[in-house]
Structure 1
Amino acid sequence: MSNTKNTSESQGSQQSSQKSSQTSQASRSSQKSETSQESREPRRPKPMEVLREARTQLAELTGMTAESVSSFEQTEEGWALEIEVLELERVPDTMSLMASYQVELDSDGQLTGYRRVRRYERGRSDARGR
């Protein structure tokens, strides 16, 4: 009878170990589903990612080289930048034509619009009033 008793105890022990194993598996799967739900939410791009992406997108759309970003701010709709581009290369370099473009991006960093706001020679500074 002691064998029967040991067998019953070992079966009970196996059942409780199976239950704890199932519980821990359920816990792990719920953690995975929470993590996957968090990863499904869109990640906001970092400011440097927005700057790089804006320069790349503007250069691709206009065919002109983006040289620098002179203004950068986050807005309610996304981002607003002013990007300086080389419009016409001349010799000497100080006579090259530059332009400032106002660029707007959505909150994901995708370009939604742009327009040229100023055109100038590289070697010229702004007028005093500006």
Structure 2
Amino acid sequence: MPPEERPREERRREARHDEDRHRDDRHHEERPRTRPREERDRHEQGHEREWPRRSALDARGAARSAARHVEGLTGRAAEGVTSLERGEDGWIIGIEVVETHRIPDSTDILAEYQVELDDTGELSSYRRTERYYRGRREDRT
């Protein structure tokens, strides 16, 4: 049934209903968002509560990121992760790399790189800390 054929009272009710719904929506949009009183008081005093910072990167992600950085910088594939430590502002990871392949494999020359990453996995620093023949690293300790 076309709108003009409906009874006038029904059309008025519909219009009032639409108007009320619109007014409610506008009321919700205009209402300012408030914080709990304790939080407002701390904020006004300049004493925001500091929540413990969580790293955006977990240990496995940090190791993968470090290996990718070393591979990109040295052009050599990472052989493995030798150490992993959570630092103050990120991660400190040891990555082992084959620097020279030889025959037999037991005479390969390997190196360990220490990589420091920030909490997002970006490289802060890296350096080669040690070079040794495969299987003879323990002799150097």
TM-score (norm 2): 0.67
Which runs of 4 or more aligned residues in structure 1 lie more than 4 Å from their structure 2 counterparts after TM superposition? 3-8, 21-24
Letter in 2 for 1:100: E
Which residue pairs with 2:21 in the alignment?
17
CA RMSD across the alignment? 2.7
1:116 to 113, 121, 128: 128
1:74 to 83, 86, 102: 86
Equivalenced residue count is 112
The separation in 2 between residues aligned to 1:125 and 1:6, in whole angstroms, is: 90
The separation in 1 between residues aligned to 2:14 and 2:112, in whole angstroms, is: 80
Contact 2:59–2:84 (Cα < 8 Å) also in 1: no
Letter in 1 for 2:60: M
Shift of 1:125: 4.2
Shift of 1:49: 1.8
Which residue pairs with 1:97 in the alignment?
109
Q: Deviations over 1:73-122 (max 9, x none)?
A: 11112110111110100000010001111111112111121111111111
TM-score (norm 1): 0.72
The separation in 2 between residues aligned to 1:6 and 1:118, in whole angstroms, is: 87
2:119 to 98, 107, 113: 107
The separation in 1 between residues aligned to 2:96 and 2:80, in whole angstroms, is: 5
Structure 1 unaligned segments of length 5 or more: list them.
31-42
Q: Percent identity?
A: 34
